Amino acid sequence: MNLLTAVLFLPLAGFLIALLIPRSAAQASRVWALAVSLVTFVASLGLLAYFNRSLAGPQFTVDIPWIPTPDIHFHIAADGVSLWLALLSTFLTPICALISWRAVQKSVKEFYAFLLLLEFGLIGVFLAQDLFLFYVFWEVSLVPMYFLIGIWGHERRIYAAVKFFLFTMAGSVLMLAAIIFLYTRAGTFSYPELIDMLASGRLTFAPGEQMLLFLAFFVAFAIKVPLFPVHTWLPDAHVEAPTAGSIMLASVMLKMGTFGILHYCVPLFPAAARACAPWIATLAIVGIVYGALVALVQPNMKKLVAYSSVSHLGFVVLGIFSFTQFGMDGAVYQMLNHGISTGALFAIVGLLYERRHSLEIKDYGGVATVAPWLSIAFLITTLASIGLPMLNNFVGEFLVLQGAAIANFSWAIWAALGVIFSACYMLWLYQRVFYGEAGQEVRAHIPDLNFREWAAIIPLLAMMVWMGVYSQSFLPPVGKTTARVLEQSQVNVPYQVRNAPAHRASPGALTARLAGPLPLASATGTTEVARAR
């Protein structure tokens, strides 16, 4: 029992107690959920305080045998990436509780209970060090989200919830099979042990075997990210979800996918990951440009933000598969940035919906006249989202694109197009909703932010500025962990980089130094994977 365990189980305890609150005491449910999530957040700040930033590996490890056969452990720990993602969850849950205060009037008790259960599942996914435990949390987080969409969503909520569930499950099944197969091969579910075995050569995969395992994990994660072309569940889920569901879904749940890729796919199956890198990077770039273009023409605000997520998450995947220090650092930073800025976008869109009861852009216009502070909050969020320097997304996008430019310059060219389009769709949205003359309905129904809403929005805005201006508060632990992932992605690589011809546009040693601990795997080199054995 340590602080990490406390952070993980506080929301679960909160959930169980929330079930005991009588249904009639709706306000008590709200207050309880807010209190529990705040306490959890404070506890997670304690983690941050005690986290040793000079170490790369997992910290706060708790390893307790859980099920004897098969050998499953309750094994959790936090490294420089999962720590931040857990913190992102604990940071956003109280904000969701606040944002839903008035918006949710139906089955209030269950809503807040599910919110806490969701927090438990999400934190668990990031902390689990046992593959089976990871899978359990993965599924645990799925259930409350399914109900949040299915019960508190809008008109087509059932369709959206089922679509969300089916898409995710299709991937989960593959992943479970791969986990079980890994167990039969390695005799353990323990992630650190698997890494050790791979590093020492006690565990090796045949190329075809490795590729299939990689793909089984990757498809599960890619659907969650979501990567083009398996992204179509996301717009539906977002449009139908209640505000808090959208925030948790976009800000944290999608990161389960990118975290999984970084934490499992790359270190466990490095050769396959590197072999697939050109293909996956291409899909990521298609997603960046495609998501932005489709966002451009959406008539519905939530759908627009949902497609913008497809575009932003493309940057994360591109960064990881650039296999450079910059790209991976940027990818992780971008996960956090997207969590903050898209969370804020959904929060404010939710506030607009609460007032005007419409998500259609055409029902708005002139909001800046009647609700200037709300408009400014949305403007800052918009600017963060389109990557204005001194706000958070810029740092992440810069690093991702820099990594891509070093891996393959044409990737950077194509991906940077997404930066142009992001300005197009967000500014056009802003113009149509906030500028222009305020109509009758807008004047009558849209008051400015109240104190509770400020309390939810201000922390998000503050984080955008902090993360944009002083990234040193956040990046160093990330860099330690990604450097380790890069190192791990060199083991068990059957092909030899030194034999591969130099990359076409590579300027030589400098690129290699910038790319990470070992020379860059180029597209030309990876084709030899299949032949190596």
Nearer to other proteins, 25 or 166 (CB): 166
* Residue 184 in tokens: 């039969």
Query: What is the spatial distance between Cα 26 and Cα 6, in angstroms, rounded to a whole number?
Result: 26
Taking the CA atoms of 134, 136, 142 and 148 in sequence, report the sign of the dihedral they define.
negative
CB of 508 to other proteins, least distance (A): 10
Nearer to other proteins, 48 or 296 (CB): 296
Find residue 190's DSSP bridge partners: 130
Find residue 72's DSSP bridge partners: 67
- The number of helices, as runs of H, and strands, as runs of E, in the chain is 25, 2
CB of 149 to other proteins, least distance (A): 13
DSSP class of 130: B
Closest Cα partner for 276 from 324, 203, 218?
218
Do residues 155 and 172 lie in contact, with contact meaning Cβ atoms separated by under 8 Å?
no
Cβ atoms within 10 Å of 355's Cβ, excluding its own: 18
CB of 516 to other proteins, least distance (A): 7
Taking the CA atoms of 517, 518, 524 and 528 in sequence, report the sign of the dihedral they define.
negative
Cβ atoms within 10 Å of 435's Cβ, excluding its own: 16
CB of 405 to other proteins, least distance (A): 4
3-state secondary structure of 59: strand
Query: What is the spatial distance between Cα 118 and Cα 106, in angstroms, rounded to a whole number?
Result: 18
CB of 346 to other proteins, least distance (A): 20
DSSP class of 72: E
Nearer to other proteins, 52 or 232 (CB): 232
CB of 28 to other proteins, least distance (A): 28
Nearer to other proteins, 46 or 208 (CB): 208
Nearer to other proteins, 31 or 388 (CB): 388
Nearer to other proteins, 414 or 495 (CB): 414
Nearer to other proteins, 94 or 403 (CB): 403
CB of 476 to other proteins, least distance (A): 7
Which pairing describes strands 72-78 and 59-67: parallel, antiparallel, or unpaired? Answer: antiparallel
CB of 3 to other proteins, least distance (A): 28
Q: Which helix (H) or strand (E) holds 66?
A: strand 59-67
Nearer to other proteins, 35 or 166 (CB): 166
